[in-house]
Amino acid sequence: MSNKLSPLINLNELLTLKKAEEIILIDARAGINAEENYNKEHLKNARYVDLNRDLATVETNPANGGRHPLPSLEKFSEVLSKLGISPSSHVIIYDDKNGSNAAARFWWMLKAIEHEKVQVLNGGLQEAIKLGFPTSSEVEKIETVEKYLISEWKLATANIDEVEQARNNDQNIVIDVRDKNRFDGLTEPLDLIAGHIPGAINVPFSENLNEDGFYKSAEDLKQKYSEIIGDKKPENVIVHCGSGVTACHTLLAMDYAGIKIPKLYVGSWSEWSRNDCEMATKLNS
């Protein structure tokens, strides 16, 4: 039997764990007023991580790596130290969109530096509050830790040139996890142009969740993604979204299902659509 830690943790498990061992709880809400909302109310002892400031190096021009390029290893090391995270820390992350904000992105980044004990709270902030997890508006005290040494990103990523090659190769599959209307080019709330990468298939991340907003069972997710991927090798599967954040929700779902984590196209549509690349919509795909 595998001793691999599940990428997801349920609230009852968290409550039990909280009493038994030291954990580091991270609030990874993103979007307008996210940090202000954290300051007003967060799960007790949770520390805040900011998507733009801590989990990306936002460029002036998203054509260079998209809206949320990965930070340098040095910067990420500083972020972890600032949060009080060491290689032995058990980190549990939540947001208010069940992982599709920045919780799954932070999970992926920690997995990519081979941090062993990291999980995302299934159900997120709302479920925790609903079931009585204590909240706070206090400034959380963080103990200083030694610098977290990082040598490289160990999980695979794809750049724009690799995606261009993969989309025309039958041995590869490019998965777009944005909602269908964005994929079809009917609406685009964040980027300049609506549409999708020609040859990509649309598997919205929302399909990872059941009607109650929790991740579907590992068995259901395994069946779903095994059928989609077929006999493709993990290194030939590329997953993307708008800016490399929500795609991590699907990477987490695959890991939960026991499927090897495929490549993340970090630049995603925000980079692709700004580089004079071929684009498609429902009308011309």
The residues assigned a catalytic role are 241
Q: Which residues contact 214 (CB under 8 A, 6 or more apart)?
A: 98, 122, 123, 127
**Could you identify the residue written with the tokens 């989309």?**
167
Helices (H), 63-198: 73-82, 103-112, 124-130, 160-166, 180-183
The two beta strands, 47-48 and 135-136, are unpaired
Category of 210 on φ-ψ map: left (φ > 0), alpha (ψ -120 to 50) or beta = beta
**Burial class of 12 by CB neighbour count within 10 A (0 to 12, 13 to 18, 19+):** exposed
**Phi, psi (rounded to 5 degrees) for 208:** -75, -15
Contact present, 30 and 102 (Cβ < 8 Å): yes
193-203: buried (b, 16+ CB within 10 Å) or exposed (e) per residue?
Answer: ebbbbbbbebb
